[in-house]
Amino acid sequence: MPEKRILSPGIPRRALRWVVVANLALVPVLTMAASPPSSPRLSDWWLEREALPAPDTRPYYLLGTDAGEQQRLGRRLLAELTTLIGQAELGRPHLRQAGLMAWRQAIRRGLARGGRTPARADLAALLAHPRHDPPLASLDTIGVCQAPDWVEVWSREGVTRLPWTARMRLSDLLARLPPEALGTTQAARLVSPHRPPRRLGIAAWNAQEAELVPGSRLVLELSDDLPAAAWLNRHLPDFLATRLPGGSCTPLGPTPTASQRTRST
């Protein structure tokens, strides 16, 4: 089977700018989105490329100011998980040592892969919302991922990926989980690729519904009353929102800051 392309055939830059803006009915935005030569934006970078990402891919970027903070948050998550793993060894009833160790390993893998700033990075979104079009010099990474075909569940049993299906909803996903994964959990945090994490009820008395898109992650809250468990419930979804939005990702840089950093090392 031929490999899927992550870039569409090239379009002349001048024609591309007008095609995108005209299709969005955003002719006035063209002037607003244009940046002075001394301060190019991410949209300018896309327009300088010979080809744009294919429609079924997910572009991403990482602000230089976010990179260090994400690493610090990841290390704190690992430390809190180590505390909870120790408590699980002592027999805390709502904690599963194997599941927590799987969480820790998944976070380590996520840190090794690198992250993104949780925001839209495609050209259409940047031209439609110029205030969210970051200066190119502020970026650490630009890349593109193949859209995933899975949804991911973080439960006390570990981290599991299940196939995504069309029109999939939260109730569909919960119905596919074994009772031991759900335990006594009353709520979960839904992490979608293009919106902030949100807390949803999943018990019979507080059940809420939501549509799931490919690459969604569901974190079932730990029901233990330890401070470390409460901290993880709040902050793990924020960390997952910064992970790359697909399984197969390709950096497209280098960005100006990356080039300067390479020359200085």
In the chain the beta strands, taken as DSSP E runs, fall at: 57-63, 139-146, 150-155, 158-163, 187-192, 195-201, 217-220, 249-251
| 13-27, 132-146, 188-202: least confident range | 13-27
Render pLDDT for 115-130 as a digit per residue (tens, 0 to 9).
999 999 999 999 999 9
The predicted pLDDT at position 38 comes to 53
**Predicted confidence band at 262 (pLDDT cuts at 50, 70, 90)?**
very low
Over residues 211-232, the mean pLDDT reads 95
Compute the distance between CA of residue 52 and CA of residue 246 in angstroms, rounded to an integer: 17
6 has pLDDT over 80: no
Contact present, 228 and 238 (Cβ < 8 Å):
no
Does residue 226 register a pLDDT over 60?
yes
**Residue given tokens 């009833």 in the structure block:** 93
For the segment 173-200, the average pLDDT, to the nearest whole number, is 95
Closest CA to 144 of 211, 51, 213, 65: 51
- Per-residue pLDDT at 31: 42
Query: In this structure, what token pair is assigned to residue 234?
Result: 């709040």
Q: In the chain, where are the structural domains located?
A: 65-117+147-240
The pLDDT of residue 263 is 37
Per-residue pLDDT band for 25 (boundaries 50, 70, 90) equals very low
Superfamily (CATH H level) for 65-117+147-240: Outer membrane lipoprotein wza domain like (3.10.560.10)
The residue-averaged pLDDT of 27-41 equals 55
What per-residue confidence (pLDDT) applies to 259? 44
Tokens coding 49 = 């490329």
Average pLDDT of every residue of the chain: 86
What's residue 223's pLDDT?
87
102: Cα within 13 Å, side-chain hemisphere:
14
Query: Residue 213: phi, psi to the nearest 5?
Result: -105, 160
Contact 114, 225 (CB under 8 A): no
**What mean pLDDT comes out for the span 35-53?**
84
Please give the model's pTM, rounded to 2 decimal places: 0.83
Confidence of residue 98 (pLDDT cuts 50, 70, 90): very high
State phi, psi for 202 to the nearest 5 degrees. Answer: -130, 0
Pairwise CA distance, residues 252 & 53, whole Å: 10
Which residues neighbour 47 within 8 Å (Cβ) at sequence distance 6 or greater? 13, 16, 17, 123
Identify the pLDDT of residue 194: 86
**Pick from 175, 173, 213: nearest CA to 191:** 213
Assign 254 a pLDDT band (cuts: 50, 70, 90).
low
Stretch among 15-19, 178-182, 236-240 having the lowest mean pLDDT? 15-19
Q: Is the pLDDT of residue 11 over 70?
A: no
Contact 260, 84 (CB under 8 A): no
Give pLDDT, residue 28. Answer: 44
The pLDDT-based confidence of 70 (bands split at 50, 70, 90) is: very high
Neighbour order of strands in the sheet with 57-63: 57-63, 139-146, 249-251
Confidence of residue 176 (pLDDT cuts 50, 70, 90): very high
Predicted pLDDT at 232: 97
For residue 35, the model assigns a pLDDT of 43
